[in-house]
Amino acid sequence: MQRLSIPFLSLIALAGTAGAQPAPDPQPAAPPADQPAAPADPAPVATTPPPSSNQGEAKAETPPPSIQGKWTTTFYGFAEGDLIYDKVQGPTEGLGNGALPRPAFGTTPSTYANAHDQFTTSARNSRLGFRFGAPTVNDIKVSGQIEMDFVGNQPAGIAEAANFVNATMRLRHANFKLETPVLDVLIGQYWNLFGWQPVTQSGSIQYQGLPGFLNSRSQQLRLGKVIKAGDVGVEIAVAATRPGQRAGGLPDGQAGLRVSLDKLKAFHIVGGAGSTLESGMVGVSVIGRRFSVNEFAAASVNAINKNGYGLALNALVPVVPATKESHANALTLLGEFITGGGIADLYSGLSGGVRQPALPNPMGTTPAPTYTPNIDNGLLIFKTDGSLHPVRWQSIGAGLQYFLPPSGKVAIVANYSHLSSDNAHAFGPATAVFDKQDFFDGNLFLDVTPAVRLGVDVVWLRQTYVDGVEASDVRGQLSGYLIF
């Protein structure tokens, strides 16, 4: 992305000169050519004002050296427009992992949404962000970030025009980082450490996260450090992050280790508008979570504790490396493997259709007793015997990106993922729960100028329900980006 760097305090100083300040005196005309120019006035001599009367005998302190003008602010982002065709109705701009409408099966007719298509236009993925840099003090480097887009939650049942034209702003990132010679500290909302995001996120004009690929941001306190040994870098990090359930009483714990090779550079597109040159890397990360769910009863008294867990393996491989000077002919492979239980919220919109069962009602009372869980759906599910189980998911994903010579301004990007669960079938009707999903998309990118990118994409998405029914969608999309 291009960046526009602005001295932050210079803007403030400039704003301070506006408003009620008198207009400056007109400058005198230059002397004729045959007359010497008048000598410049001598610079005023700075004096220290005497202490005020209420300071007694205290001496005036020498003010500290000024650091004004050393703050920097970078304004960045992109304006995006999307034209999207789906062969079924229901999917939003971001396909994510939401359930597709079911087709006909046996004597069961197809749902209306499965039998009809839709056409969507949107600009909601447009993004604005600021990065801040403070002066380095005592070898401590301070930076920060605030970033928003317009894919915020909208009220249910609003008109289509309101949903797509009057988009709601959403916070993506808000954090600051302290880099010291000993340890780096990040505080605020940022990409989760689990999965080493966003370095390993693939490119696509589809909204992130792609079906079957990890995609999650979280409030966190992260500690880490990169240890360099020649061209090899080893990064170790741990983080306490927003828990999957507040009632669990503890933050999630995340930890990761990755090894990078600085001599092997991988150029790749991240999302639809981002491009970056990164060192090739392999990484492993884990997550541990504590859940405390109110017991399976109409009037819960006790809590049942369960743990969630996850393991992620990620790689960014420069099959044909790029350089700072050129990424033409670069070929980059991205891959990830995820497995765990109680981690559905770390994907976009994933539940698989699982649901809490109805409470037993042997007496046939009316109304029937209802259970209201204190946890988001799709993470842990009760069985009718009252036992609690984390829903387990496993995914594998890969992305391949090739930048055509001679300029590298044209890129071909393909992504594939497979997502599955070995126990989702036990947590809901076979007609409502899917336990397998396959995703493929192929993208063609064209950088018209460094500020303008165009992309076209064809998507195939299939979900297999527990009863064997396969629901699918075929999507075609055209997107344009103004990158600043």
Residue 57's pLDDT is what?
38
Residue 269's pLDDT is what?
96
Q: Give which of 26, 34, 415 is closest to 205, Cα–Cα.
A: 415
For residue 296 the two structure tokens come to 């399976």
Residue 69's pLDDT is what?
57
Asked if CATH classification 1.10.10.10 holds for the domain at 70-483, the reply, yes or no, is no
For residue 124 the two structure tokens come to 């909601």
- Averages of pLDDT over runs of 10 residues in the chain (484 residues) are 43 40 42 41 41 39 52 95 97 94 85 94 97 94 96 89 92 97 97 93 93 96 95 97 95 98 95 95 98 92 95 97 95 97 96 92 84 94 92 98 96 98 94 96 97 98 95 98 97
For 91-151, the three-class secondary structure string (H helix, E strand, C coil) is CCCCCCCCCCCCCCECCECCCHHHHCCEEEEECCCCEEEEEEECCCECCEEEEEEEEEECC
Residue 154's pLDDT is what?
87
Domain boundaries, the chain: 70-483
For residue 89 the two structure tokens come to 């109705």
C-beta of residue 412 within 8 angstroms of C-beta of residue 444 = yes
**Pairwise CA distance, residues 87 & 95, whole Å:** 13
Which pTM was predicted? 0.82
